[in-house]
Amino acid sequence: MESLTKTPIFRSKSKQPAMWTLLLVVLFSSQFSQAEWFHKTWPIMGTETGARFWLDDPNFSDPTQQSEALKAQQQKAQELLELVRQEMHRIDVIYSPYIDTSALSKINAAAASTPQLLSQEFAALVDKALWVSQASGGAFDITYASVGHLYDYRNKIAPGDEDISKTLPAIGSDRLLWDRKNRTLAFTHPLVKIDLGGLAKGYAVDRGAEILRHHGIKHGSVNAGGDTALIGDNRGRPWFVGVKNPRLTGEEKNWQEQQVLKLPLINEAISTSGDYERFFIDEQDGKRVHHIINPRTGKSSNGLISVSVFGPQGINTDPLSTAIFVMGVEKGLNLINSIQSYEAVLITDTGKVLYSDGLVDPNAN
């Protein structure tokens, strides 16, 4: 015992070379260890979309194979990024209201005269939209687009009161004749338009994350504007997703300063709906005209200025955040508190931050 503890291991002549070899291999492999984060962003769906993930070490024990293994790893990462990009692009091309040839545009052009057959995927999105519409008492409604398409935020155009009142009768779930069994959709009013912008991004990030998971990714995220799907954790720590201060002054220097709070999340999706995402200020009355429309009034919803919802799936967090934004504090909190596994953080136009029942207010004592 004594000799063992008193003899430093590297001093033992016979063991020295073996130990150094071992040490060198460790040093070498850590130097060439290429487990790393890969990420890329693309402008799709009128916003910045992107993916980020951790790709484990390529398998090599023989140092002479390292460069090949590294090349293969880089290639795999690029292929995965490309798969996610293609999926986002596919969804955009089918559901964009801004692309004339999209399936959505074709439905909008024809469903007032003849019932239109929807794909399985399209049908599932319509089902989800109708469910959220019902759960929110019509605050979320894809027929909001009957008036919504008259807004042009880039060119600061909003419909006048007359145009709004003309289109209001075309808004409401009962304006849709949805034959679930035959998957056909018809409109019961000539001015009906639908838009899936309130849930398409949440669906897209779910799909992107599904693709990455399928290819073995254990830590990553897929993002589209205000919607993010997280895969696993951030390598042993939760992901910290920030809720942005909806009224940034421009003075904030870094990411930390721009956040109202940071949410520790693992393997969840989070969506934020904010009145700062797409808006302009009306020069006549100084009011903010933004992209979340109250289907009852045909005008931008007010009262809340930011709603974040998180839970297992983006296809739910996305429309729920939009729905709660329109519903307001009381009804919105009631809705989220009635849905298991989903939580929300709401910010009012007076700067008050409210939490759903499953969260602990960090300022409460």
State the nearest-atom distance from the C-beta of 314 to ligand AMP, in Å: 10
In the list Mg ion, ligand AMP, none, the entry touching 317 (Cβ below 5 to 8 angstroms by class) is none
In the complex with Mg ion, the residue whose CB is nearer, 268 or 318, is 318
Q: What CA–CA distance (Å, rounded) separates 118 from 197? A: 17
Reported as type and span, the H/E element at residue 346 is strand 343-348
Rg (CA), the chain: 26
Q: Which is nearer to ligand AMP, 220 or 226 (CB)?
A: 226
Q: By C-beta, is 58 or 198 nearer to ligand AMP?
A: 198
Kindly indicate which of the ranges 6-14, 138-146, 228-236, 254-262 contains the residues binding ligand AMP, using the contact rule CB under 6 A.
138-146
Residue 87 interacts with ligand AMP (CB under 6 A): yes or no: no
DSSP letter at 7 equals: S
Residue among 310, 135, 114 nearest 205 (CA)? 310
Q: Which is nearer to Mg ion, 81 or 243 (CB)?
A: 243
CB of 356 closer than 8 Å to CB of 235: no
Interaction between residue 295 and ligand AMP (CB under 6 A): yes
Per DSSP, which regions of 233-302 are E strands?
Answer: 239-244, 259-265, 269-274, 279-281, 288-290, 293-294, 299-300
Residue ranges that bind Mg ion, judged by CB under 5 A: 271, 273, 318, 321-322
Rounded Cα–Cα distance for residues 83 and 237 (Å): 27
**Which residue of 50, 226, 298, 311 would you call a contact of ligand AMP, by CB under 6 A?**
226
Angle CA(260)–CA(265)–CA(271) in degrees, nearest 5?
A: 65
Cβ atoms of 22 and 29 closer than 8 Å: no
Angle between helices 103-110 and 66-95 (to 10 degrees): 10
| Rounded Cα distance, 91 and 113, in Å | 26
Contact status: 293 vs ligand AMP (CB under 6 A):
yes
The interface partner of residue 293, options being Mg ion, ligand AMP, none and the CB cut-off 5 to 8 Å by kind, is: ligand AMP
Judged by beta carbon, residue 73 or residue 273, the one nearer ligand AMP is 273
Judged by beta carbon, residue 87 or residue 275, the one nearer ligand AMP is 275
Residue number of the CB atom closest to ligand AMP: 197
The tally of CA atoms less than 13 A away on the side-chain side of residue 89 is 9
Choose from ligand AMP, Mg ion, none: what does 144 bind? Cβ within 5-8 Å by kind: ligand AMP
CB nearer to ligand AMP: give 23 or 248: 248
Which of 55, 96, 122, 141 lies at the binding interface for ligand AMP (CB under 6 A)?
141
- How many angstroms separate the CA atoms of 210 and 204, rounded? 10
**Does 142 engage in binding with ligand AMP (CB under 6 A)?**
yes
- Binding residues (CB under 6 A) for ligand AMP: these are 140-142, 144, 195, 197-198, 226, 271, 273, 277, 291-293, 295, 318, 321-322, 326
